[in-house]
Amino acid sequence: MSNVSVTKDAGGPESAPSDLVVLNNVNKHFGALHVLQDIDLTIASGEVVVVIGPSGSGKSTLCRTINRLETIDSGHIAIDEKPLPEEGKELAQLRADVGMVFQSFNLFAHKTVLENVMLGQLKVRRTPKQEAQDKAQALLDRVGVANQAHKYPAQLSGGQQQRVAIARALAMDPKVMLFDEPTSALDPEMINEVLEVMQQLARDGMTMVVVTHEMGFARSAANRVVFMSDGRIVEEAAPEQFFNNPRSDRAKDFLSKILQH
Ligand SMILES: Nc1ncnc2c1ncn2[C@@H]1O[C@H](COP(=O)(O)OP(=O)(O)OP(=O)(O)O)[C@@H](O)[C@H]1O
Ligand SMILES: [Mg+2]
């Protein structure tokens, strides 16, 4: 630890100690499609970054490279100053450090809600059973579904299942949480209950990357908006600046379309 205090924006292109996720010149192709093009992105510890952009612009692929669900063709990605591991135990550890919440909740259907939140703790973190159970119960309480602990996922609403999925990711004590359109499969009346859990996480200081079309969430919770188009980061700005005064034509065009809804 250095005794020099470093503020979030004190760093230049070199990574500063508070930089938790660093992507340097990342490129990826799917066949002929150049899906990520020269991506440079640095996320500080405690920062909430909302990623928006048209369908097919590479937002999900970007998220998936950060926990190495997708490999990259060139460039570097580091989490907490460590390059992403290739495989094996270290990769499992990385996946545990990077919590991911998808549009579809991916809970284990044949396990109870409580067991779903205990499983990773038991298998990956090797937490003793009672401790894992206590922690799972506390996390279910934190996301507002403590009374659903002994039900099976199919017995819960979509909003409740997504909150369980968030609790399950949090059970691993992740360094960063990635959310890929966590509310887009939900009925409208269930969106807010999930967004509120995410708002609370943000206030608690969790480092978050959130792909979402929920512009209200972006305005109120994000420190920064990253706008992607055609595999590139076209624009990055504080939410106020981005929404009120987008610089690029592509961002203006995108905002005019989504704000009509
Ligand atoms: N496994 C894959 N194989 C081939 N092409 C892929 C694969 N995954 C994604 N793509 C393509 O890469 C591009 C970017 O996809 P991605 O899912 O990252 O976009 P997105 O910004 O998340 O879009 P959406 O808003 O629709 O979720 C798209 O053209 C998509 O068809
Ligand atoms: Mg996507």
pLDDT tens sequence for the chain (261 residues):
344 444 444 444 455 668 999 999 999 999 999 999 999 999 999 999 999 999 999 999 999 999 899 999 999 999 999 898 887 888 888 888 999 999 988 899 999 999 999 999 999 889 999 999 999 999 999 999 999 999 999 999 999 999 999 999 999 999 999 999 999 999 999 999 999 999 999 999 999 999 999 999 999 999 999 999 999 999 999 999 999 999 999 999 999 988 765
Residue with CA nearest ligand 1 atom 13: 56
Domain at 19-259: CATH architecture: 3-Layer(aba) Sandwich (3.40)
51: which strand partners?
Answer: 211, 226
Compute the distance between CA of residue 154 and CA of residue 157 in angstroms, rounded to an integer: 8
Give the contacts of 3 (CB within 8 A, at least 6 positions apart).
Answer: none
- Ligand nearest the Cα atom of residue 232: 1
Distance CA 56, CA 87 (A): 28
pLDDT at 11: 40
Cβ-based burial of 230 (10 A; exposed 0-12, middle 13-18, buried ≥19): middle
**CB of 185 sitting under 6 A from ligand 1:** no
Domain definitions of the chain by residue range: 19-259
Residues bordering ligand 2, an ion, CB closer than 5 Å: 60
pLDDT at 14: 54
Distance (Å) from CA 155 to ligand 1 centroid: 31
Is residue 246 within 8 Å of 201, Cβ to Cβ? no
pLDDT at 17: 61
Q: Is 32 in the pocket of ligand 1 (CB under 6 A)?
A: no
33 lines ligand 1 (CB under 6 A): yes
pLDDT value, residue 5:
41
Q: Are strands 176-180 and 207-211 parallel, antiparallel or unpaired?
A: parallel
- The residues near 248 (Cβ < 8 Å, ≥ 6 apart) are 227, 234, 235
Residue 23's H or E segment, with its range, is strand 19-30
The ligand with the least distance to the CA atom of 30 is 1
Q: Minimum-distance ligand to the CA of 58?
A: 1
pTM over 0.95: no
